[in-house]
Amino acid sequence: MPKSFTERRKLLKDANYLDLRPTKSYDHKDLEEGTVGVLVPKFGNWFTKTFFLPFSKADVVVIKLDKFGSETWKLIDGKRDVGEICKILLDIFGDDIKPVEERITRFLTTLYEQRLISFVEIN
């Protein structure tokens, strides 16, 4: 039986964040200057898709990420843990991204709360 969001959130709170392996819930497209746009479907169930999609201009919402968020999104693959992602980002951006662990864990927590990512250990 799948865990509820609150059960998964408690597991996330008790876990060592740097050891978790994030996975993407949605696809992305490359935008200008190496940034990424996350493609989130506008309508979730069949009723709204059937009745409102023909009147809509697009069936997805594009969430544009900045350069730090884009590089982080590209590194999320379900194999690397958050600690490895932080080390790679530190090598790429240097002092511009410090304190890297705090920034990346806060960013990934926001993505998780918006259900754009999940973690292998929680599923």
- pLDDT score, position 100: 93
State the residue range of the domain holding 17. Answer: 5-29+65-119
* Mean pLDDT, residues 13-41: 89
Look at the chain and report how many structural domains it folds into: 1
Q: Helix, strand, or coil here: 77?
A: coil
For residue 45, is it within any domain? no
* Mean pLDDT, residues 2-31: 84
For residue 48, is it within any domain? no
Asked if pLDDT for residue 48 goes beyond 70, the answer is no
For residue 112, is it within any domain? yes
* Mean pLDDT, residues 11-21: 84
Asked if pLDDT for residue 56 goes beyond 70, the answer is no
State the average pLDDT for the chain: 86
Query: How many Å apart are CA 65 and CA 62, to the nearest integer?
Result: 9
For residue 57, is it within any domain? no
Q: What is the pTM of this model?
A: 0.82
Query: How many Å apart are CA 31 and CA 114, to the nearest integer?
Result: 21
Q: Helix, strand, or coil here: 57?
A: coil
